[in-house]
Structure 1
Amino acid sequence: MVEVEGNSVLALIIVFSASIILFFYYYYCYYYHIYEHHGKNIPPGSLGFPVIGESWSFVKAQREDKGSEWIEKRVAMHGTVFKTSLMGCPTVVVTGRTGNKFVFSADDESLSVKQPPSIAMLVGKYNVLELTGPRYKHVKSVVMRFLKPEAIQEYIDPMNSIMKNTLNSLKVKDSVLIVPLMKRLTFNITCSLLFGLHDEPTNDALFEDFSHLFKGLWSVPLNLPGTAFRRALHARSNIVQRVTPILKSRRKKIIEEVVNANSDMLSGLITRLSDEEIIDNFVALMVASHDTTAILLTLMVWKLARDPQIYQKVSQEQSAIIKERQEKTNGKLTWSEIQKMKYTWRVAQEIMRMIPPVFGNFRKAMKDINFAGYDIPKGWQVFWEVTQTHMNNGIFENATSFDPSRFENSSRSIQTFTYIPFGAGSRMCLGNEFARVEALTVMHHLVTNFEWSQLIPDEPITRNPMPYPSKGLPIKLKVKETSDML
């Protein structure tokens, strides 16, 4: 009798759940296909399942580093402009140089930088990456005070010190996992130099929180137990709880003139924004400033391990810098020396072309707009992506071949809106110069002190949501005889 009742309850639950799903499905079909689409020339494509859309297949393709194939499959079916549904919102995907130009040339009144609601919940709606108009200009002006070349030059000595400590910890090891090393290294640099955070236990806790938040950014936005999105929401809450007392203490020190308001970006934001705005920008800038650079550094180590010829050329350039320095003075790495690392940076540029840290990103239509003869309704997302230009043989000759010389001189100029690892237009990444200097500083110290080889030669690349070697890139280290470690 109990079993029958239990089965009846189970059946009722199944019927009720199915009814709810069908309700949302029919509502979805009615609203988007009948009402919203009526009389409009919407791009071809599929909106997928209710609410979830095609997010499952999109995220799965990203994790298998097959995002470009996911795009190409739909381009083959529907053309260079197609519709789908990602992160809970109907989306128009635009590809190629024309699509990039459309996105990066649009004004905020037509195509805003607003992210999907799920990402905004994690990063915060008041961060500089989403702001528009006068408020964007105000916050950007504060942030750029600490990212302009004059400020970045002052970061080189502290970066040298952080790298020396890292190298000294590595010299006693035979092997190391590069992914966690680079994530932690760039996180420490960002905490210390940009935000003036030097308390190790607090930074350790924040590092764990941000690790969970990163994984939830491009996950399927289901706030259910056990999901990456739920863990990311919890991590966001932890970050707010940890940063709030720091803001209170820092504000008090600024008022008492113990800390200069211009000493770091966090202090600069405190004097000009509310706590909610500061936290949103802290989260956004931390996401933007350290994880993408960690990716680039990881992939440079990965590439140099796989290509001895590239390693040798980078090593020769870096060794020449040390030799010239010793002939003049026995000092530390300088700004002028970083400007001489032209080949090393070309290697970085080619890596970002072939394996871009950011696969693409979202904009939001603020009004009904038109592109390539298609209507994009107000409120829909627009997604731009990089592979359709980065890996296009018509733009980059032999696109699948690794060739740093593509970036060698201005006479072989690359068309605008075709090479976009940092975006383009007025919304280009604010910290691209900081990232360049940080990456070159770290690689200088690594290459001049170590040789290395992969312990898993066939280790694949995966995206979660950024591209990393799937096993963490374990490498075998060998200290060079000419090492300059302390």
Structure 2
Amino acid sequence: MEFLLEHLLYLFLAVAAHAYLVVLRCIRHRYPQPPLPPGSFGWPILGETLVIQRLNRSGDPFAFVRQRRQRYNRDIFKTSLLGEKTVVLCGSEGNKLMFTGEKRLLLTWWPPSLKKLFGDAFFTAPYEKAIHTRKLITSFLNQELAIPEEFNVLLKGMFQLPIYFLGTRHYKAVKSAASLRRELIKVIESKRRSGTMNESLSEDLISHLMKGRDENGKMLSDEEIADNVILVMDAGHNTSSSTMMMLIKYLARMEIELQRRPREPLNKDDIQKMTYSWNVVDEVLRLTPPIQGNFRKAIVDFPYAGFSIPKDWKEAEYFPNPEKFDPLRLERDIPIPYIYFARIEILVFLYNLVREFRWELMFPDEVIAVEPMPTSSKGLPIYLYPHTSS
């Protein structure tokens, strides 16, 4: 009897599921929705992650997007990256939607694989908590942090398939993140025991976060503090250093005119006047950005470019002759407050480098791979020559 009832239950569920699908199909037929974007999800589990990684390492990181825009649609296509089904938006309209649809259509989101590396830091935390923690961090600019070898291992495993097997980059990155987190928690506990938290508030980021509170007035946990310090190490070190490396590469091809003047330290007014120098930096960022794109999660179904997006830059029309390095194309003054510190760091480096030296690339055709940021395959060695004093 029990056996019969169990089978009747399965039969009932099957009939109910079939009826639901029939009704759903009728509704969709009567009220058609825009189709999903064209594209391919690639192999099960793997998706197209290995394809984009191979192209990134080849020195042509934009080949993946370029090929799929030519094959499917120039504005939008679907794919699967890092184990997640993804829609890629391209062009100026796509970027506008990404940055203006926050909280209305989209939320900042990163793949779960990164949660294992950065924990509950602000770019994997809920939106409101992330905004509050970001304010805590950006209100304090600390001295440069030492970058241990563990951190470099973590970086190389950031955008890898989330396959947690011994020997994979993801496995090594998770282990390195855990090791960094343990070391930082030791520092936090030491500060708390010694009572140096209040004394060093103005001197380091850890003490600053130990005094901070979340949107509910609750102090951050040791794990949250450690996660945010690791995140700041990533954001503060690699985007700027990658940009500086590419500056050296591109400027090695240019004839640079120098206007010699007495040796004086740069001040704030000098940096504000370095508009052409920042145009050069902007052009480097256009050609080889340190980050290839941002993730967002759709919070409602909405149409875009004639396709449905379900819930849960190098264009000739925008930049004539887009592959050419031309700083004058970006001659403008658009203040962006949150890049002010990076701007100072890069411009001071550029000023002193150009003023004191000329250089040549040892390997002019050296491949620049993306792992996950632009990385020179041989370390970008150069011949460095001091300017002869006049």
Instruction: Using structure 2 for the length normalisation, give the TM-score.
Output: 0.83
Q: Percent identity?
A: 33
User: 1:405 aligns to what?
Assistant: 328
| Alpha-carbon contact 1:453-1:475 (below 8 Å) kept | yes
User: 2:250 aligns to what?
Assistant: 303
| Alpha-carbon contact 1:59-1:220 (below 8 Å) kept | no
User: 1:278 aligns to what?
Assistant: 225
1:212, CA displacement in angstroms? Answer: 0.7
**Structure richer in helix, relative to its length:** 1
User: 2:209 aligns to what?
Assistant: 269
Secondary structure in structure 2 of the residue aligned to 1:452: strand
How far does the alpha carbon of each residue in 1:156-204 deviate from its partner, in whole angstroms, 9 at most, with x for none?
xxxxxxxxxxxxxxxxxxxxxxxxxxxxxxxxx631xxxxxxxxxxx4x
Secondary structure in structure 1 of the residue aligned to 2:289: coil
* Structure-1 separation of matches of 2:50 and 2:128: 37
Larger displacement relative to structure 2 (96-105 or 216-225): 216-225
Secondary structure in structure 2 of the residue aligned to 1:306: coil
1:335 equivalent to 2:329? Answer no
Which of 361, 386, 390 lines up with 2:294 in the alignment? 361
1:56, CA displacement in angstroms? Answer: 0.7
| Alpha-carbon contact 2:68-2:77 (below 8 Å) kept | yes
1:109, CA displacement in angstroms? Answer: 5.5
| Alpha-carbon contact 1:251-1:267 (below 8 Å) kept | no
Q: Which amino acid aligns with 1:265?
A: L
Which structure 2 segments of 5+ residues have no match? 1-20, 213-219
| Alpha-carbon contact 2:79-2:88 (below 8 Å) kept | yes
User: 1:28 aligns to what?
Assistant: none
How far does the alpha carbon of each residue in 1:433-474 deviate from its partner, in whole angstroms, 9 at most, with x for none?
111111111222222222221111221221111112221101
User: 2:281 aligns to what?
Assistant: 348
Q: How many positions carry a matched residue from both structures?
A: 354
| Alpha-carbon contact 1:343-1:404 (below 8 Å) kept | yes
Q: CA RMSD in A?
A: 2.6
Secondary structure in structure 2 of the residue aligned to 1:476: strand
| Alpha-carbon contact 2:109-2:295 (below 8 Å) kept | yes
1:334, CA displacement in angstroms? Answer: 2.0
* Structure-2 separation of matches of 1:403 and 1:465: 25
| Alpha-carbon contact 1:449-1:482 (below 8 Å) kept | no
How far does the alpha carbon of each residue in 1:241-289 deviate from its partner, in whole angstroms, 9 at most, with x for none?
1111111223345567432x23333221111221121122112221111
Which of 382, 396, 413 lines up with 2:319 in the alignment? 396
| Alpha-carbon contact 1:289-1:431 (below 8 Å) kept | no
1:133, CA displacement in angstroms? Answer: 4.2
* Structure-2 separation of matches of 1:71 and 1:45: 11
Alignment of 1:185-204 (within 5 A): 190-191=144-145, 203=146
Instruction: Using structure 1 for the length normalisation, give the TM-score.
Output: 0.67
Which of 34, 49, 56 lines up with 2:50 in the alignment? 56
* Structure-1 separation of matches of 2:194 and 2:267: 32
Q: Which amino acid aligns with 2:153?
A: H
User: 1:122 aligns to what?
Assistant: 117
1:63, CA displacement in angstroms? Answer: 1.4
1:246 equivalent to 2:187? Answer yes
1:117, CA displacement in angstroms? Answer: 0.8
Which of 59, 63, 66 lines up with 1:65 in the alignment? 59
Secondary structure in structure 1 of the residue aligned to 2:384: strand
* Structure-2 separation of matches of 1:227 and 1:51: 15
* Structure-1 separation of matches of 2:99 and 2:61: 21
Q: Which amino acid aligns with 1:241?
A: R
